[in-house]
């Protein structure tokens, strides 16, 4: 077969394939599209994966920075509390704003432990702001804020995977119960921490025991002993002193008895009287 003949055969095959290509594509469209999508996914998956990882790293870095900033705000509030005035108001206001921002960021990250830490720190800041605020706090606002902190602790307890973070979240729930006046509920939470083996290697049981001891101490009833009766001091009660002996037959109340220091004194002398025959001077006429 010469070269020209082979070229004619290839040309006829290509023409035949092009003629039947639309029909072939129509029949196998689903298969072709699926194969193309798989190829595209294989090519683009590493790219999107790197982009996703980069996005998560960026979010985690943002949350970590926010936690550090909140720690600085907590320290700033304690410092401003000593100064008072406008500095204290600005510090507590900034603490509240940053706590709410951190709660929003915690809902957007996929790292469960980092999200738990963010919620724990935010809840701590919410409670701290109430204690350091200069203005009077209404009961409804106080309860609402503590409930917000309690919700953050609940979410942290549900998402945390390490015993330390779980213990911190549970301990925070006990503090919220105390601040709401629910002493029995707080004591029950602290006992659960003490009884849980998973928290034994953390510092949380020690903190829980201290809070439990404080609760017991605050509930104790103290009975004070009555004051001793006032003792009347007499000469008989003075060590080394004995009452003086009185002559027999004389009572202590006898007014004729003179003190000892008057017994040695000489009796007073009376003026001498003139003799009866002594001349008397007559007044001059």
pLDDT tens across 141-193, in order?
Answer: 999 999 999 999 999 999 999 999 999 999 999 999 999 999 999 999 999 99
Claim to verify: residue 156 and residue 169 sit in the same structural domain: no
Q: What's the rounded mean pLDDT across residues 41-52?
A: 62
CATH code for position 104: 1.20.1050
Q: Is residue 254 part of a domain?
A: no
Closest CA to 93 of 56, 60, 132, 62: 132
Residue 127 banded pLDDT, cuts 50, 70, 90: very high
Q: What is the span of the domain harbouring residue 183? A: 162-221
Domain boundary at 122, 137, 161, which?
A: 161
Handedness of CA 87, 88, 89, 91 (dihedral sign): positive
- Whether the predicted model's global pTM rises above the 0.75 cut: no
Q: Do residues 45 and 91 make contact, with C-beta atoms less than 8 angstroms apart?
A: no
pLDDT higher for 214 or 25?
214
Q: Do residues 87 and 137 make contact, with C-beta atoms less than 8 angstroms apart?
A: no
Claim to verify: residue 192 and residue 133 sit in the same structural domain: no
Claim to verify: residue 134 and residue 192 sit in the same structural domain: no
Q: Is residue 244 part of a domain?
A: no
Q: Do residues 103 and 150 make contact, with C-beta atoms less than 8 angstroms apart?
A: no
Q: Mean pLDDT across the chain, nearest whole number?
A: 76
Q: What's the rounded mean pLDDT across residues 203-231?
A: 75
Domain boundary at 194, 221, 248, which?
A: 221
Domain boundary at 135, 161, 187, which?
A: 161
Claim to verify: residue 152 and residue 186 sit in the same structural domain: no
Look at residue 231 and tell me whether its pLDDT is greater than 70: no
Claim to verify: residue 77 and residue 104 sit in the same structural domain: yes
Q: Is residue 149 part of a domain?
A: yes
What's the rounded Cα separation, in Å, for the pair 61 and 71? 15
Claim to verify: residue 168 and residue 155 sit in the same structural domain: no
Look at residue 285 and tell me whether its pLDDT is greater than 50: no
Q: Is residue 118 part of a domain?
A: yes
Residue whose token pair is 């070269």: 3
What's the rounded Cα separation, in Å, for the pair 199 and 164? 7
Claim to verify: residue 153 and residue 194 sit in the same structural domain: no
pLDDT at 9: 47
Residue 53 banded pLDDT, cuts 50, 70, 90: low
Residue whose token pair is 């001091």: 233
Q: Is residue 26 part of a domain?
A: no
pLDDT at 143: 93
**Residue 112: CA count within 13 A, CB half-sphere:** 9
Domains contained in the chain, number: 2
Claim to verify: residue 181 and residue 102 sit in the same structural domain: no
Q: What percent of the chain has pLDDT over 90?
A: 35
Residue 135 banded pLDDT, cuts 50, 70, 90: confident
pLDDT at 45: 61
What's the rounded Cα separation, in Å, for the pair 38 and 46? 13
Q: Is residue 270 part of a domain?
A: no
Look at residue 254 and tell me whether its pLDDT is greater than 70: no
């Amino acid at each position: 077969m010469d070269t020209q003949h082979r070229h004619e055969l290839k040309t006829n095959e290509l023409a035949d394939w092009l003629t039947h290509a639309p029909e072939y594509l129509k029949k196998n469209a689903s298969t072709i599209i699926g194969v193309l999508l798989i190829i595209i996914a294989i090519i683009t998956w590493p790219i999107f994966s790197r982009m996703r990882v980069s996005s998560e790293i960026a979010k985690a870095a943002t949350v970590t920075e926010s936690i550090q900033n909140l720690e600085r705000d907590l320290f700033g509030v304690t410092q401003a509390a000593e100064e008072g005035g406008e500095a204290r108001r600005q510090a507590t206001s900034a603490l509240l704003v940053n706590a709410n921002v951190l709660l929003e960021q915690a809902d957007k990250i996929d790292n469960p432990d980092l999200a738990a830490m963010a919620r724990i720190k935010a809840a701590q800041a919410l409670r701290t702001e109430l204690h350091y605020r200069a203005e009077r706090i209404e009961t409804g606002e106080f309860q609402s804020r503590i409930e917000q902190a309690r919700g953050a602790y609940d979410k942290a307890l549900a998402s945390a995977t390490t015993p330390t973070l779980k213990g911190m979240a549970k301990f925070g729930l006990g503090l919220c119960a105390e601040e709401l006046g629910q002493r029995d509920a707080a004591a029950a939470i602290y006992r659960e921490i003490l009884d849980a083996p998973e928290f034994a290697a953390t510092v949380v049981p020690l903190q829980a025991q201290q809070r439990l001891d404080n609760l017991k101490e605050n509930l104790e009833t103290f009975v004070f002993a009555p004051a001793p009766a006032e003792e009347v001091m007499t000469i008989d009660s003075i060590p080394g002193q004995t009452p003086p002996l009185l002559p027999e037959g004389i009572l202590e109340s006898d007014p004729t008895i003179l003190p000892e220091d008057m017994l040695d004194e000489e009796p007073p002398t009376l003026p001498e009287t003139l003799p009866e025959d002594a001349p008397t001077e007559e007044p001059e006429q």
